[in-house]
Structure 1
Amino acid sequence: MARILVVDDEVGIRELLSEILYDEGHTVELAENAAEARLARQRARPDLVLLDIWMPDTDGVSLLKEWSAQGLLDMPVVMMSGHATIDTAVEATRIGAFDFMEKPITLQKLLDTVVAGLKLGCAPRSAGASAAPSLPPPSSSAATATVTPEQAVPAFVEAEPAAERNEGLLGNITLDQPLRDARDEFERVYFEYHLKREGHSMTRVSEKTGLERTHLYRKLKQLGIETSRRRSNS
């Protein structure tokens, strides 16, 4: 699992890339312009950056130069654009970009490029960079050691006393299954809870969950969740 920063001023592109990368098990942070990208880079070093070239405030190539000059270009950066010329792509590579993807980006191209970029990012770092603590790999033993019952169980799932909680269960969700399946089960419970709580108002559910309506509808359809309240015949 990697932390990936997606920088693009088009909300549709951000949401689409976020959903694909999230489904692959990555943690995704979104930025709609260079200013937000700078703040995200200051908070933590991402494992990979997907950076749009044409943005309204500061273009991606200028931001790439800025990071390079400040010594912050210590992660693979993949440039994206639907209008860039070959010269622009070459310039970005010369500055330090890992690769360039032309929009519209195909699913396989995205996945292949991300895998290749993350492999590059796994190369040994300098002594200063290695001082930062690394997160443990996702495993049941690590989760048991670092996550308290109050943190692990969502607020809407009544937590059982520690002595009575079955090992390997999160509420009614078994953790003894592939990550993708467990995540789908959790998301299904999560969205069904908010739909019920908000009276199936997609506007309020969108606000509560932080997802745009288009993304929300797509996610609910993917999970097989009814988006409208079923009316009784009485």
Structure 2
Amino acid sequence: MPTARPLPADDRDLESFATVLAEELPDNWTVEYHRHEHAEDQLRNAEDVWDLDKVAAAIAESPLGADAYLIGENGTRLYVVLHPRHEEEALVAAMAPVDAVPEAFSGVREPDGIAVPLDPEQAAHAVAADLLPRYDIALAQVRHNAMNPPQPVPGARLEQVVMTWRKDGSLAAVTTARPAAEVLLAEGFAWEAAASAYVLGGDDTRAQAHAVQATGARLARLGISTALRTAHRPTTDLALPAPPSGTHASTRTR
């Protein structure tokens, strides 16, 4: 690893941090920097983030302004943003492979991202020692599942999240599976005890659409299908990711 190159005190922006972090990591990495002109830019750029913890929460809850991709020579992609709540930290997460079918993610624990200090050398050490090994394990499991798809068991019960439009334009999701509940909360749904459901507000239908698409993609990776009841549907068209084969839901998108 080359000699550390700490960032100047007046140059601690995301693009500079990501660039130096890429130089500090083992092997060769390129950097793509994206500024978010609109709220949907943030959601679209984060669709493949392989995280159900602090990074997913930051994406769902905070305007981040910009993000960066670090792309390794072997195809590994890392997602980097400044921490919205801690000025001296950044968040780094792995991004899921785009060439794997949803069924391959079933049963694979997501390699959740980490918070790192805005010191490229320390951050690179944390990424190389913690995040990348967990990503490699998860990726190997996905590749194995893709090459050895499980055979369906006749009569087996499949997990499913049911989403229902409400009269006020909000969306109520019902599930008893803890992993599914964690995904819903990470993508902006809030538990509403009176309805016994996780509810996503409908004030901003465009943001709602992106949240539903991201939720469906993450649930599909966990082997959980998504069903949308259309008793009341706003004008915005939502396309849900497809569940594992053998279940019924709308078409998967990225």
TM-score by length of 1: 0.27
Name which one, 1 or 2, has greater alpha-carbon Rg.
1
Q: Which one has a larger percent helix, Structure 1 or Structure 2?
A: 1
Q: Which has the higher contact order (CA 8 A, sep 6+)?
A: 2
Q: Which has the larger strand fraction?
A: 2
